[in-house]
Amino acid sequence: EFVRKATINRLRSAIESVDHGYDETHVSGFDIAWVPKSKLFSRGKGPRLLGQFVACVDRDAVVDAWTQAGKTGGSTDEVCVLLMGAAVAPSGELARAIVEQRRRRGTGLTLIPVDARNWEAHMPLDAPAIAKTLLARLRTGA
């Protein structure tokens, strides 16, 4: 529980220092969530950012996070899930699980497995820029 809280607090601090274009909100099934700030007559730009801490980032955690994220909103919204854990399965296992979920449920979601011990991530090439910036900030501690 201590590691989960510390991880979530560090992530919260990082997003607050990286981009002020997001508001924190509550999303069932996730430890932390941000949505783009709304403009006067339009929705803010950027993906919804969801963070979840699990004991081990593995195939089952990927499937569960993908399922939970699919319940959070409309199919046209871009969603980015940071799935963080103190242990991470081999990258091949994670890649197969992510490919399987994309094939079954669509591609409007980006899931990024993150090792919370050192903030190393299996970053997809098409990950949103905000996620890349956020994880770079977390890795460097700046």
pLDDT tens figures, 91-106: 999 999 999 998 987 7
pLDDT tens figures, 132-142: 999 998 888 76
Q: What pTM does this model have? A: 0.88
Left (φ > 0), alpha (ψ -120 to 50) or beta: where does 108 sit?
alpha
When pLDDT is cut at 50, 70 and 90, the band that residue 78 belongs to is confident
Q: Please provide residue 45's backbone torsions phi and psi, each rounded to the nearest 5 degrees.
A: -90, 150
Cα(33)–Cα(28) distance, rounded to whole angstroms? 9
pLDDT tens figures, 37-46: 876 665 667 8
Total residue count of the chain as it appears in this document: 142
In this structure, the strands spanning 79-88 and 48-57 are parallel
The type of residue at 97 is A
60 CB-near residues (< 8 Å, 6+ apart):
none
